[in-house]
Amino acid sequence: MTGATPWTRLTRVLSERWRAFRRTPYLPAAVVSLLAAASAAAFAGSYTYALANPTPRHVPVAVVGPPSSGTEARAFVEELEHRLGASLELHRYADYPQAVDAVEAQREFAILRGHRDQVEMDVASAAGASVAELLTKEGPPAAKAVGARITMRDIKPLQSGDPRGLAVFYITIAAVIIGFLGTVQLVVNAPTLRPAARLAFTAGYAGLGGFAIVVVVDWWLGALELPVFGSWGILTLTMFTAGMVYAMFNALFGRWALLPTWALMVMLGNPSSGGAVSWPLLPTALGVIGRWLPPGASVNAQHTAIYFAGHQHLQPYLVLGGWALLSLAVFWALRDRPPGRRRT
C-alpha cells in the first residue's frame, strides 16, 4: 500500500513477525521460562514468609486453679506476653487432669499453675515443638524478672528419633509431591489410559507409596514409631488426594495443570500445614487456611495418630476426603477431554 505511513508499515511488520513467532516453539519456551522464574520467587517468598521467622500471635494455655490464686503467676503471664510479643489465650480448668486432657485433645499448648511465689508451667512438645521451645526459652527469664521461681516440664515429649518434630512434615511433603507427580507421569507416559484405569493406577501407587514411606521411616531408619495401619492409611489418602487434585486441574487447564497444583499444594499448603512451625506461630491467615488444605489436614491427622491416638479428630479426614471427592467429581465430569491437551 503506497499511501501507508511509516508507523503503519512498522505495525504491519511487527504483527507479521508476532504471528510467525507464535507458530514456533520459542513462544511456549519463553512463557515457561518466565513462569519458572516467577514460581521460584513465589516459592522462596511463601516459605520465607511463613517459616523463616515464626512469631507467636495467640498461644492457648490452660490455667489450673481459681482466678485469685498466684499473684506472681499473673505477673509472670504479663511478663511472658511482653517477651513473646503475643497474648496467651488463658483458659481456666478446675483441676489438673482436665487441663491435661485439653492438652491431649490439642486444644491447649501448655498448663500454668501458680502457688504464692512458685510458678509451674508444663509444655507439650508433641503438641507443638516450636511453641514448647519458645515457652521453654522465655519462661525462666520471665519468672526471674517478676521474682518468681519456675518449674518447667515437658509432659508430652517428642520421640527420640525426631527431636525437632519435623519427621511428620517431611513424610507429608513426600506424600503430597510424589502423589501428584505420579499422576503427571501417568498423563505423560500413559496418555491413552481410560479414566477408570487412571483412577485405579492412582489409587495403586498411593497405597504402595504410603506403605513404602512407613517401611523406610519406621522399620528401616527408626526415626518415628508409627502406628502402621493408621499412618499407612493417612499417607495413602494424602497421595491419592494430591494425585486427584492434579487430575482435576489437568482436566480444567490441560498442559498448564502443574502450575495451580504446585501453587495450592506446595507453595500454600506445605508452609501453612503446621508441620514445620506450629499454627500459633504462623501468620494468622496461613494458620487458618492451612487446616483446610490437604497438606495441613494430613499433618494434623498423622500427628494425632502418632502422639494423641486417643483423641483423633474427624476434621482432617473430612478435609482430605472432601478434596479427593471434589477433584474426582471434576475429573470424571471432564473425563472425555484428552489429558495434557493443548487448549485453543
Q: For residue range 170-199, what is the model confidence (pLDDT) as tens digits?
A: 999 999 999 999 999 999 999 889 999 999
pLDDT at 301 exceeding the cut of 90: yes
Give the per-residue pLDDT at 123: 94
pLDDT above 90: percentage of residues in the chain: 51
pLDDT of res. 337: 67
pLDDT the model gives residue 197: 94
Sign of CA dihedral 125, 126, 127, 129: positive
Query: Per mean pLDDT, which of 153-157, 187-191, 242-246 is the most reliable?
Result: 242-246
pLDDT digits (tens, 9 = 90+) for 111-125: 998 877 788 899 999
Start-to-end CA span in the chain (Å): 33
Residue 344 has pLDDT above 50, yes or no: no
Residues of the chain above pLDDT 70, percent: 94
pLDDT above 50 for 342: no
Question: Does the predicted model carry a pTM greater than 0.85?
Answer: yes
d(CA 169, CA 109): 19
pLDDT band at 269 (very low <50, low <70, confident <90, very high): very high
- Name residue 89's beta-bridge partners: 60
Q: Which cell is 251 given?
A: 482436566
More confident residue, 83 or 54: 83
Average pLDDT, the chain: 87
Query: What φ, ψ does residue 59 adopt, rounded to 5°?
Result: -115, 115
Residue with cell 498423622: 302
What band does 48 get if pLDDT is binned at 50, 70 and 90? confident
Q: Which residue has the higher pLDDT, 270 or 48?
A: 270
Residue 3's pLDDT is 58
Mean pLDDT of 320-342: 83
